[in-house]
Chains A and B, each alone.
Chain A
Amino acid sequence: MRGTLEKFFASPYLTVFLMFYCVFLIFIATIAQLEIGVAKASSVYFESFFAITEIQGVPFFIIGGASVGVLAVVNIFFSLFKYVRFGVVGIGNSIIHCSLVLLILSGGLQYFMRVEGRVSIREGESTKNLFVRKNAVEHVQQLPFSIKLLNFTKENWEGSDIPKSFSSKVVFVRGNSNTECLIEMNSPASFEGWTFYQTSYADNGKVSVLTVVKNPARMLPWLAVIATFAGMIGVFVARILGRKKL
């Protein structure tokens, strides 16, 4: 029994099936987005273990992204025992695949730990209200501090209406402390674990719209990606150096 399970979970056919199935899953989810939107499609196809979906009116049972993630982690884990070798290439491959496990796990962690919402502030006013939308349900959360918009600026490319950059000058107020910050497009600001991104504006620039994110697991994907990249470089360099002729 144990041998069969090991054989199944370490099977290269499972590996290849999971990857091709992912391509298929992502494709039907993308098509579904046209109708139900990105957020809903994500929760149905990627954040679930199983789902029943309709393609052209015909109901289909599909394995969701969460199941695929779990199976992939198990498959990689068992395959490592089967295929691991010593040497630069072997270690490189191990790093690549362990980092991919980390990437998948960090996706799962973020699902539980990450909070994202929006804040709209009028120039001169302040607010604590965070509008959070999870699974197509919107509710209001209170930030542990208030944020005041001092000034919003929008710069256009010379003589046109195409926006070049926008930025908000804000003050974070908690108790007696006031911290002033500038939030620009592509250049967010953080305060007490919450990060503020300049997203858009309203009312001709009198209202600034910021996306606010709290994500303790934020650096995990970065770490996983960098490690995978390092592993890939290691394997390629070792392979190229190892070849006598190209």
Chain B
Amino acid sequence: MRFHKNILIISLFLAIVVVLSPLLSSQIFGDKIFDSVFEKSLSSLPVLRAGRIMPISSASADTLKSASGKVSAKPFGKKISSTKWLWLLNAQASKMGELPMLRTDNRELQKFLKSNGRYVSYDSVVANYDAIYNSAVSQDGSAYASACTQLLNGALAYGLAVNALCIKYPEVENVSEFIGRWQKAVSDAEKELKESASKKRAPNDEKLIVASSYLSYLRSLSEYEKQNNDVVIKAVVSNEGFETVSDALLDRKASSQTQELVSVYAEIADLIAKGDFRGVESPMLKAFDIFEKSGKIDFFRVRLENFFNAVNPFFAGLILYAIAFLLFVLSSLKGRALACFGMVFFAVAVVVNVLAIIARVYIQMRPPVTNFYSSVVFTGATAALVGFVVYLKRQSLLSAISATFVGVLSLLVAVNLPYSGDTMGMMRAVLNSNFWLSAHVMTIMIGYCGLFLAGFMASFRLVANAFSKGNFGFETAKTADSVYLLLCGCLLFTFTGTMLGGIWADMSWGRFWGWDPKENGALMIVLWTAATIHCRVLRVCNDRMFLVLTSLGNVVVAWAWFGVNLMGVGLHSYGFINSGWGWFIIFIILQILVAPFGFLVYKGDNIISKK
């Protein structure tokens, strides 16, 4: 391979620009006080959500994504980050309530709420709450019912977020004033109760009314938050850990630290409501001080996660893989030079993908695969890495094309996964075991990604045969050889991984094999791969049929991986996801359509016929 030095340098530069664009655009075009990752900003303040300490940028992104399906918002026309959205929401809840921020894709529901597009306002959901709730719990299994459930979940996250950082009492203009009034009302009421007890007279109700109305408001808020412990954002640090603002206000024994943090956040919210973003810096630094003094925060990890959010590495990886894929495909038609460009983008994509996974492992302190999202991301990275190494050794365009394709697909799936919570979420008890997580899950994932790689190599070869100008028998045989080796390796991994799953299950649940959908899927994959290998070894079929069987293996893997998640039955149903059938079916159909290409036989003189 001839290296064109200038081409390499230019493509490296372009690749780095792609990687850094999300970061640069948020740092240059965003609001520094909200979004800066290199200096202290509102996005890196720590909060607790779903059992994990995270920066506000993560908590707000999770909430916003569950409400609107995106991690940024355009409430007033201009795009703002999720951090800014959360602070605006807390500072100006009533103004934000009218804006179309909650998302539903169901046309019936959109019409019912009289919206012009996919987005409806929080206020309209609240106004029609009863009707939506009744449809959601109707159990008729319709798409409308599940759309209502989804919308209510989004509204729930949104409604809880409104009081995450500070609390606005309905008639009171600003937050700091409310805190002042609350404290005064409490001390007035206490004084009155003491006086009336000592003077043995009934307490004067007028003096107690203000306190009790504030009290009942805060109490109902606190109750509501407790019922949704997994979704609520806890922003205030106290002696026992993190608590919500309402709990902090209700806590009579709150430490001075806690009280100070509550007033500092109130001050920030009020400044934001007035539009005075400059003035926010000083109370914000006070807040950081309070967190630092509490000694409970690992700031390095929080800031790393904040930085990670701003870089958005998986999105950058997706773009890079896509560019590399296109370049490699063009190179197979036009000439080798383009492959040099492609290789650079490919290399940068792999580096970014792997570094991102390492960062996630560090942030979570877990092996790379803990939930569905991470399994998809990990597979893409592994396939890409393997394909990259194979490409370096053998200069096989086919492996480069397949590997970048797997990279694109996996990150596309990951970026678009219907939202089911924090992607770095805490493990349920049954999965809380680092050793087994690594052993069983990673082994299986490596096997699956190898199978996809093999499947795509076979598919691309078969399709390319139709456009091939000469005798493609030799190329087909070469590909069949490589695919065979790859399949043997994959069989080792998938078999071992599946059986390790059995051993893990035997140790934890008391049975080696339970025939639940996920286990069945894994066994189907092992059997299909073994059958395909046996076909070749026992000479039951020829190269082309072997490649057809391998490519159809993609259907089996897709079923085992995504299909059973869409089923949600059995002990393995912790990966359950609500939608995605459509894309799944499309993938299956496209993959099956490759099979007929296996019947193309070269008959000499450019005549291609179906046998």
Show the binding face of A for B, using Cβ within 8 Å: 12-13, 15-16, 19-20, 22-23, 26-27, 29-30, 33-34, 38, 41-42, 46, 107, 110, 116, 156-166, 185-186, 188, 195, 197, 199, 211-213, 218, 221-222, 225, 228-229, 232-233, 236, 246
Query: Is the CB–CB distance between A116 and B510 below 8 Å?
Result: yes
Across the two chains, which residue of chain A brings its CB closest to B436? A186
Beyond A12-B534, A159-B234, A211-B509, whether A185 also contacts B523 by CB under 8 A is no
Chain A residues closer than 8 Å to B468, beta-carbon distance:
none
Query: Is the CB–CB distance between A162 and B528 below 8 Å?
Result: no
Query: Is the CB–CB distance between A23 and B531 below 8 Å?
Result: yes
Query: Is the CB–CB distance between A41 and B230 below 8 Å?
Result: no
Whole-angstrom distance between the Cβ of A181 and the nearest chain B Cβ: 15
Interfacial residues of chain B within 461-507, with CB under 8 A of chain A in the complex? 488-489, 491-492, 495-496, 499, 502-503, 506-507
A-B contact pairs, 9 of them (CB 8 A): A20-B528, A38-B570, A41-B515, A159-B242, A162-B51, A211-B510, A222-B506, A228-B499, A232-B495
Interfacial residues of chain B within 40-63, with CB under 8 A of chain A in the complex? 48, 50-52
Chain B residues closer than 8 Å to A213, beta-carbon distance:
510-511
Query: Is the CB–CB distance between A229 and B535 below 8 Å?
Result: no
Shortest 8 CB-CB contacts between residues of A and residues of B? A157-B51, A160-B51, A12-B538, A19-B531, A213-B510, A225-B499, A163-B429, A157-B426
Across the two chains, which residue of chain B brings its CB closest to A47? B515
Q: In the bound complex, how far is the Cα of B436 from the Cα of A236, in angstroms?
A: 25
Chain B residues closer than 8 Å to A211, beta-carbon distance:
509-510
User: Out of B492, B510, B570, which one reaches A236, CB within 8 Å?
Assistant: B492
Chain A residues closer than 8 Å to B229, beta-carbon distance:
159-161
Q: A27-B524, A27-B559 are in contact. List 9 more A-B contacts (CB 8 A).
A: A16-B534, A19-B527, A34-B567, A38-B516, A164-B426, A164-B432, A188-B508, A228-B499, A246-B393
User: Chain B CB within 10 Å — which of A157, A218, A246 has the most?
Assistant: A157
Q: In the bound complex, how far is the Cα of B526 from the Cα of A22, in angstroms?
A: 11
User: Out of B234, B492, B524, which one reaches A26, CB within 8 Å?
Assistant: B524
Q: In the bound complex, how far is the Cα of B238 from the Cα of A158, in angstroms?
A: 13
Query: Is the CB–CB distance between A162 and B540 below 8 Å?
Result: no
Chain A residues closer than 8 Å to B514, beta-carbon distance:
38
Q: In the bound complex, how far is the Cα of B515 from the Cα of A26, in angstroms?
A: 9
Binding site secondary structure of chain A: helix
Query: Is the CB–CB distance between A160 and B538 below 8 Å?
Result: no
Query: Is the CB–CB distance between A160 and B50 below 8 Å?
Result: yes
Query: Is the CB–CB distance between A162 and B430 below 8 Å?
Result: no
Query: Is the CB–CB distance between B520 and A30 below 8 Å?
Result: yes
Whole-angstrom distance between the Cβ of B52 and the nearest chain A Cβ: 7
Beyond A20-B531, A236-B488, whether A159 also contacts B508 by CB under 8 A is no
Whole-angstrom distance between the Cβ of A38 and the nearest chain B Cβ: 6
Q: In the bound complex, how far is the Cα of B495 from the Cα of A41, in angstroms?
A: 24
User: Out of A33, A110, A116, A225, which one reaches B503, CB within 8 Å?
Assistant: A225
Across the two chains, which residue of chain B brings its CB closest to A185? B429
User: Chain B CB within 10 Å — which of A16, A34, A229 has the most?
Assistant: A16
Beyond A26-B524, A185-B508, A186-B430, whether A13 also contacts B52 by CB under 8 A is no
Interfacial residues of chain B within 521-580, with CB under 8 A of chain A in the complex? 521, 523-524, 527-528, 530-531, 534-535, 538-540, 556, 559, 564, 567, 569-570
User: Out of B48, B429, B530, which one reaches A166, CB within 8 Å?
Assistant: B429
Query: Is the CB–CB distance between A38 and B569 below 8 Å?
Result: yes
Query: Is the CB–CB distance between B527 and A23 below 8 Å?
Result: yes
Write the B333-365 contact mask toward A (1 if CB under 8 angstroms, else 0): 000000000000000000000000000000000
Whole-angstrom distance between the Cβ of A46 and the nearest chain B Cβ: 6
Query: Is the CB–CB distance between A232 and B507 below 8 Å?
Result: no
Whole-angstrom distance between the Cβ of B493 and the nearest chain A Cβ: 10
Chain A residues closer than 8 Å to B428, beta-carbon distance:
162-163
Q: In the bound complex, how far is the Cα of B426 from the Cα of A156, in angstroms?
A: 10
Q: In the bound complex, how far is the Cα of B536 from the Cα of A15, in angstroms?
A: 12
B29 interface residue per 8 A CB criterion: no
Chain A residues closer than 8 Å to B436, beta-carbon distance:
186
User: Chain B CB within 10 Å — which of A13, A26, A34, A42 has the most?
Assistant: A26
> How large, as a class, is the contact surface on chain B?
35 or more
User: Out of A13, A166, A229, A246, which one reaches B496, CB within 8 Å?
Assistant: A229
Across the two chains, which residue of chain B brings its CB closest to A161? B229
User: Out of A22, A186, A229, which one reaches B527, CB within 8 Å?
Assistant: A22
Across the two chains, which residue of chain A brings its CB closest to B226? A161
Q: In the bound complex, how far is the Cα of B50 from the Cα of A166, in angstroms?
A: 18
Query: Is the CB–CB distance between A185 and B569 below 8 Å?
Result: no
B241 interface residue per 8 A CB criterion: yes
Chain A residues closer than 8 Å to B52, beta-carbon distance:
157
Whole-angstrom distance between the Cβ of B488 and the nearest chain A Cβ: 7
Write the B18-43 contact mask toward A (1 if CB under 8 angstroms, else 0): 00000000000000000000000000
Query: Is the CB–CB distance between B524 and A38 below 8 Å?
Result: no
Query: Is the CB–CB distance between A159 and B51 below 8 Å?
Result: yes
Query: Is the CB–CB distance between A42 and B515 below 8 Å?
Result: yes
Q: In the bound complex, how far is the Cα of B527 from the Cα of A152, in angstroms?
A: 42
Query: Is the CB–CB distance between B513 and A26 below 8 Å?
Result: no
Beyond A162-B230, A229-B496, A232-B495, whether A197 also contacts B531 by CB under 8 A is no
B433 interface residue per 8 A CB criterion: yes
User: Out of A29, A158, A185, which one reaches B520, CB within 8 Å?
Assistant: A29
Beyond A116-B511, A165-B432, A228-B495, whether A16 also contacts B535 by CB under 8 A is yes
Whole-angstrom distance between the Cβ of B421 and the nearest chain A Cβ: 10
Q: In the bound complex, how far is the Cα of B430 from the Cα of A19, in angstroms?
A: 32
Q: In the bound complex, how far is the Cα of B509 from the Cα of A195, in angstroms?
A: 10
B517 interface residue per 8 A CB criterion: yes
User: Chain A CB within 10 Å — which of B52, B428, B508, B523 has the most?
Assistant: B508
Chain A residues closer than 8 Å to B288, beta-carbon distance:
none
User: Chain A CB within 10 Å — which of B489, B531, B569 has the most?
Assistant: B531
Query: Is the CB–CB distance between B520 and A221 below 8 Å?
Result: no
Chain B residues closer than 8 Å to A233, beta-carbon distance:
492
Q: In the bound complex, how far is the Cα of B507 from the Cα of A218, in angstroms?
A: 11
Q: In the bound complex, how far is the Cα of B569 from the Cα of A61, in angstroms?
A: 26
Query: Is the CB–CB distance between B511 and A162 below 8 Å?
Result: no
Q: In the bound complex, how far is the Cα of B567 from the Cα of A33, in angstroms?
A: 10
Chain B residues closer than 8 Å to A186, beta-carbon distance:
430, 432-433, 436, 507-508
Across the two chains, which residue of chain B brings its CB closest to A93? B537
Across the two chains, which residue of chain A brings its CB closest to B523? A26
Across the two chains, which residue of chain B brings its CB closest to A19? B531
Whole-angstrom distance between the Cβ of B169 and the nearest chain A Cβ: 25
Chain B residues closer than 8 Å to A41, beta-carbon distance:
515
Whole-angstrom distance between the Cβ of A236 and the nearest chain B Cβ: 7
Query: Is the CB–CB distance between A158 and B510 below 8 Å?
Result: no
Across the two chains, which residue of chain B brings its CB closest to A46? B515
B119 interface residue per 8 A CB criterion: no
B315 interface residue per 8 A CB criterion: no
Across the two chains, which residue of chain B brings its CB closest to A197? B510
Query: Is the CB–CB distance between B509 and A199 below 8 Å?
Result: yes
B512 interface residue per 8 A CB criterion: yes
Chain A residues closer than 8 Å to B559, beta-carbon distance:
27
User: Chain B CB within 10 Å — which of A23, A29, A232, A246 has the most?
Assistant: A23
Q: In the bound complex, how far is the Cα of B427 from the Cα of A246, in angstroms?
A: 41
Beyond A160-B50, A163-B428, A185-B429, whether A222 also contacts B503 by CB under 8 A is yes
Beyond A161-B229, A225-B503, A232-B495, whether A13 also contacts B531 by CB under 8 A is no
Whole-angstrom distance between the Cβ of A202 and the nearest chain B Cβ: 15
Whole-angstrom distance between the Cβ of A125 and the nearest chain B Cβ: 22
Chain A residues closer than 8 Å to B569, beta-carbon distance:
33-34, 38
Chain A residues closer than 8 Å to B523, beta-carbon distance:
22, 26
Beyond A163-B429, A186-B508, whether A30 also contacts B51 by CB under 8 A is no
Q: In the bound complex, how far is the Cα of B429 from the Cα of A157, in angstroms?
A: 9
Query: Is the CB–CB distance between B502 and A15 below 8 Å?
Result: no
Chain A residues closer than 8 Å to B432, beta-carbon distance:
164-165, 185-186
